[in-house]
Structure 1
Amino acid sequence: MAQPNAKPAAGAMSKVRQMSLLLNDMQIIDLSHTLEEDMPIYPTHSRYFHTLWDSFETGSRALLYQLVINEHCGTHIDATAHFLREDHPEHLYMAETPLSQCSGRALTLDLSHFKDTDLVTTEMIQQWERTHYTIERGDIVNFRFGWDRYWEPRSVSLAYSKSWPGLSGEGAEYLAAKQIKAVGCDVLAIDSYYAEGSPAHYALLGNGVNIIENLTRLGEIVGESFMVAFPLKIKQGSGSPIRAVAFK
């Protein structure tokens, strides 16, 4: 049996070296919004604060800021614990969520023509599969609504958080049945602003499918890409801010 750190045979290339060369040959796309005060937030969630703690002017040897942030501020991922009670079989806090849930092949559907009242249906997803890629177990599925065009400070505009489209409950159930890892979107929540009872959240999280919200630049990865969206390791976390990126 080969040792973990054994040198590859002559002429062979290690998996790490192969991966390094492959990634260096791909474009890396930042799918995350910048964390800043006054950014859009879900109407009922607490705000983000970035407060000066110490600086050179106050005699410190270093510059320090304190962050006060809701787990669901900015570009973030929902743990299944966000909507599920502890006795639910799919209940996992953020620190318990396998990192394998947060990376993989990403398939991004372009629905930038949607209005705020539109919903993604099962039929729409199946039609996309017939003409593009078949959604498979372990995939991450993103919906590009183009809503990031409204991402502005709240003091400038509330358009981003006023209303938005989303995924229907039956569409979410269809994806969950395919045993995908996660669903991403460039809106405040995967359920439409007009949805009642958060059916998409319950269908996805209830089947162990994580949700990634407030993504941006999805237009640059429409189709197939490789995505990474690692969370902070928060004990009893219902979610976490992330730095989501895609390789294409």
Structure 2
Amino acid sequence: MKNPVHTISELLTESFEIIDLSHTLVENIPAWPTHSRFGHTLYESYESGDIASHYQLVMSEHTGTHMDAPLHFIREGKAHYGVDKVNLQQVFGKAVVIDATDVPPNGTLSYQKINEWEEKNGTLLGGEIVLIRYGWDKRWDIRPRGNEFLKDWPGLGKDAAEYLVSKEVKAVGCDTLAIDSYVASDNPAHYELLGNEVLIIENLNNLQKLPKYSLFFAFPLKIGSGSGSPVRAVAFVPRIEV
């Protein structure tokens, strides 16, 4: 009898392509203005006579492709918990990609737009991870070229966030700096999603490489009482569309 773990491994390797949805962490990548910037400092090196090489990392919990934990915006109550308490089932599972590349800078993705997507592609069933593709990742770059990524991005409208909560999705991801638009000073999507324990994944990359449906993973670091964590987001895409 075949080892079931071996069988699963063969199935994943032969039947699926892995798509990397994460940005590479290097110095001078885009960062929220009030957050610490990513630093990568050499501490030991072969050239200095050390037997090994290693670097010190300095970064915010919200560096690069990352997850927001509920306590990032929720001050108290049932949803006030950190990334170390996140149920990992919420960031693993069936993902759907909603194309929102027609949403203009500073605009919002509305409930109506999501409803139109459902009419064409099928109703959200609950338990999905919704990935919103604005195409904003093409602006990602190191400073100063990456400064265009840091302004005027579109976001998720309040009515759309409320609808996704009602559909019981597990998480919502985007390829912008934040789930709310650049001009949304009251952060309605953050409060609506995190307040209802729907996780947020920001700064995704390569969503244009995904079909409408895929198998998605984005596991966080287990940071005690962390408000968020960098993630390595990946999707498994069938090699033959069914």
Return the alpha-carbon distance in structure 2 between the equivalents of residues 157 and 180 of structure 1: 31
Gaps in structure 1 of 5+ consecutive residues: 1-7
How far apart are residue 114 of structure 1 and its match?
2.3
Equivalence for 1:218: 207
Q: Distance in 1 between matches of 2:7 and 2:95?
A: 21
Conserved? CA contact 1:117–1:192, under 8 Å: yes
Question: How many aligned positions are there?
Answer: 236
Q: Tell me how far 1:168 sits from its aligned partner.
A: 0.3
User: 1-side partners of 2:69 and 2:214: how far apart?
Assistant: 23
Q: Is the 8 A contact 1:138 1:180 kept in 2?
A: yes
Matched residue SS, 2:37: coil
Corresponding residue of 2:140: 151
Larger radius of gyration: 1
Cα RMSD, aligned residues only: 1.3
Inter-partner Cα distance in structure 2 for 1:152 and 1:68 = 19
Residue deviations 1:151-170, cap 9 Å, x none?
Answer: 01122241000220000011
Deviation at 1:19, TM superposition (A): 2.6
Q: How does 1:105-144 map to 2 (within 5 A)?
A: 105-144=94-133
Match of 1:63 in 2: 53
Superimposed CA distance per residue, residues 136-192 of structure 1 (whole angstroms, 9 cap, x where no aligned partner):
221100100000110011222410002200000110010011111100000000000
- Between the aligned residues of both structures, percent identity stands at 48
Cα distance, 1:113 vs structure 2: 2.5
Residue in 2 that maps onto 1:43: 33
Q: For 1:28 and 1:84, how far apart are their aligned partners in 2?
A: 34
**1:203 is paired with a residue of what secondary structure?**
helix
Residue identity opposite 2:19 in structure 1: I
TM-score (norm 2): 0.94
The answer to whether the 8 Å contact 1:110/1:222 transfers is no
Residue in 1 aligned with 2:227?
A: 238
1:4 is matched with none
Q: Decide which structure has greater strand share.
A: 2
Provide the C-alpha distance between the structure 1 equivalents of 2:48 and 2:132, rounded to a whole number of angstroms: 47
Amino acid at match of 1:172: A
- SS of the residue corresponding to residue 95 of structure 2 reads strand
| 5+ residue gaps, structure 2 | 238-242
> Which residue, out of 160, 169, 172, partners 1:171?
160
